[in-house]
């Protein structure tokens, strides 16, 4: 699965104790997802480039390819 980083707000980062993508990821850049963790109210994405960090899925849009 590939996703494009679309940015993050303070609330999106805090929700579910996610890691902060700001300063790490580049807005508009495409990243490969290594793992997806679904919860009842949110989903966390783990990226191949940062395997130990978890990001809120709302900060991304899924892309083809």
Query: Tokens 């978890």 identify what position?
Result: 54
Whether the pLDDT of residue 65 is over 80: the answer is no
The pTM assigned to this predicted structure is 0.91
Q: The sheet that has 2-5: what strands, in order across it?
A: 50-56, 43-47, 30-38, 2-5, 60-63
Number of domains in the chain: 1
Q: Cα–Cα–Cα angle for 25, 59, 15, nearest 5°?
A: 110
Task: Report pLDDT digits (tens) over 3-47.
Answer: 999 999 999 998 888 999 999 999 999 999 999 999 888 899 999
pLDDT at residue 16, rounded to an integer: 85
Task: Report pLDDT digits (tens) over 46-62.
Answer: 999 999 999 999 999 99
Q: In angstroms, rounded to a whole number, what is the distance separating the alpha carbons of residues 52 and 65? A: 24
| Domain of residue 44, residue span | 2-63
Q: Are 55 and 22 in contact (CB under 8 A)?
A: no
pLDDT at residue 11, rounded to an integer: 92
Whether the pLDDT of residue 64 is over 90: the answer is no
Strand, coil or helix: what is 11? helix
């Amino acid at each position: 699965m590939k996703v494009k980083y679309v940015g993050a707000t303070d609330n999106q980062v805090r929700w579910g104790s996610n890691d902060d993508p700001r300063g790490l990821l580049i807005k508009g850049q495409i990243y490969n997802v290594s793992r997806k963790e679904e919860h009842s109210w949110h989903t966390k994405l783990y990226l191949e480039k940062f395997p130990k960090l978890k990001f809120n899925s709302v900060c991304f849009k899924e892309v083809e390819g």
